[in-house]
Chains A and B, each alone.
Chain A
């Protein structure tokens, strides 16, 4: 059907781009020791962009099995939109060589029957039941598990024609401890492109979630503190997330970014930030982006110096730059700028075995922060003070600061990295205030 659509488009006097997807997802929810919810969902569709006399039209259609008449109607409707539209059109991506990123597809996930998938969910359920037996009735355990398989394809009138299959699997664990009017909670989430040693990963996850639930249960609100703080990767992703919109070319172009040009000193030299969609087997990786541009490694901040913004094709053309392969989309949307794998790197130090430190493990509420002024006030879900090697957990305080100051105050990064979805970061030593 895609070939049929391309044939129709090639007979029209327009520039065109189609982006198609077909996928399937299976997911399970475990609530209070029961497998309560299971689902298997299918999705497919085509997004069509038409370029006509410097204007762009876009529409989408769901499903991938349409007759010629439906496709003709779809094409004509989008051309009509391009004719009345005032959305500027600067051209689609050109055909270019790209290197296929390895490890993004696992045949085992693709071929997993629902019956096989539910067996994994039962393993998760059993593991939680075993743990619950061990730790007792003060604890409530829940969990989730998901498998996904999709094929994404792109073709345009410049001769670009690519497609890529990908798979993913993820699980989440959530433990609550409630006793004598006190509460604590711990969670763990991990995603993969390939099926891992599931039992081993579950054991690791349950251990981590239980540790956090116990710490959280014993945590109290701390008195205020201002000074050196260690941000664990979970907090780092929240803080770096506030910074990111300032590095998107569209926001730079439209003056919604703190930054105007690369080459300026924006952070401490201990800090480097990279967007890299080419890493084998990572969740944020892809071989080509939503416009067909090849994936690449883009250094955004290097040793404190702003090196580059993230570009899609449109803003690259507007700003005399090259696309960094950061157009993200699905078939329902036009491309927009987004991250792939975000990597925090830089000057390393041993931040793993500290005798005295204030550590912030998790915060929440980052969407309430102001990305252009950089100011944030986030609730501490879990943190701990280490005093002479002893852990004193705290929660319900607020971690306050300014993201631009935080990155200027980074003194060192830990040696051990953690992967949180497409975010890869060690611990970060910086300056902060807790109220």
Chain B
């Protein structure tokens, strides 16, 4: 069905069902993925998908979606019917209409690279990962382009194109009954240039060596320790310890412990935390969110003070604030939710060596193994890929399988030092009933946390 015709039909149906606000997303997604394990290609797929997602509002939301485009009009009508039945008294932020074609451009379009070259890439990585004690090698390459046309009842018409590329590889080492893995992920809203910049010899050696070294690493101690986090771990730390609790829907629903703390000092003065979807080429970047709101840099914490929540149209209206472009949906068949994008800790002026000198007995923890948060109780946890014991300012034994836990309102005040070496290059996915691509990072950070070690 022609988009213009659909727009006209949506207008007519909105009048019929007395709908005050509606928005429609029509998306076309091209995705290619390759997966290889121990030299065996396990997946090679290339698919295109078209679908429509519709939200209608009349004090409460009605949503419908279809992946058969012939059902597009039906999806619009269904969403509006639902909204009509489900009238409520909530509000939604309505802004001035925008018309824009916002394409994220790449230096080298991955769709112009032969499939054979991509196959050679995974074969080559597989070859490089081979080695003594390495029993498993796994490589996953994925690329996708999402074209989306968004229109709403305010007259906005926004056409976006977001390219994404991601490459991950892992090695598992085995000795006797003991096995350990290590992995590395690259990615961004960029093109094939991401792949061309990787030094594969170096990174595959690094991953193999780490997997093997972890076989000899000790189990971590348990208890409360001073902990230096590397930039990657600092990223997942701030994503879990602050990001989720600052999402507007958690505030609106009374779930987050940061509910009435806007303007309050909740962290050390040195701490500034940013969520910025406008960073060029990062995995969590976009120009417009899925509610047709322009992406904005948000300072969640500014000099220790809770400064701003992450907001979408609905939570902004509820809190009587301006939306800041954080309404994101996994795909056309999901309703937008308040989500993070690229979340990081602003650097300060500590060097790593100075930080190390501050620690009598503690841990230096490296790499992100994911995390989780309970925003109601204000407790979070996250895992590190590896670490080292620190004794009297010196790095000692290698440790493995480390996870930490902390209380949001304590841990942000326990930060003792923030480094100057900012890195935001750790692409991943964040789950909240839906998966969205994110990035996070920071400099090295010294804090205190509960370490759940086996010793």
Contacts and interface: CB of A to CB of B under 8 A. Distances in A.
Interface of A: 31-32, 34-45, 57-60, 62-65, 81, 84-88, 114-115, 118, 140, 142, 174, 176, 178, 183-185, 216, 224, 254-256, 258, 332, 334, 364-365, 367-370, 372-373, 375-379, 381, 395-402, 433, 435
Contacts of A397: 450
B161 to A, nearest CB: 20
Contacts of A39: 61-65, 79, 82, 335
Given A114-B85, A142-B253, A375-B400, 13 more contacts: A31-B253, A41-B66, A62-B50, A81-B44, A185-B374, A224-B222, A368-B370, A368-B371, A368-B382, A369-B383, A373-B179, A400-B452, A433-B222
A84 B34 CA distance: 13
B41 A85 contact: yes
A38 B63 contact: yes
A140 B450 contact: no
A84 B115 contact: yes
B67 interface: yes
Nearest to B369: A368
A87 B42 contact: yes
Nearest to B86: A38
B216 interface: no
A36 B378 CA distance: 25
Given A65-B68, A372-B181, A59 B63 contact: no
A377 B377 contact: no
Interface in B380-421: 380-383, 400-405, 407
Interface residues of B, number: 84
Contacts, number: 242
A364 B372 contact: yes
Interface in B339-388: 369-372, 374, 376-383
Contacts of A86: 41, 44, 119
B238 to A, nearest CB: 16
Nearest to B53: A41
21 contacts: A41-B63, A42-B64, A43-B66, A81-B44, A86-B44, A86-B119, A178-B376, A256-B135, A332-B47, A334-B43, A364-B372, A365-B382, A369-B401, A370-B181, A373-B179, A373-B400, A375-B454, A377-B451, A381-B374, A381-B379, A435-B223
B437 interface: no
Contact of A372 (B179, B378, B404, B407): B179
Interface string B71-85: 100010011011101
Given A86-B41, A372-B179, A398 B82 contact: no
A41 B51 CA distance: 11
B452 A37 contact: no
A44 B49 CA distance: 12
A257 to B, nearest CB: 9
Given A65-B70, A85-B41, A254-B38, A379 B454 contact: no
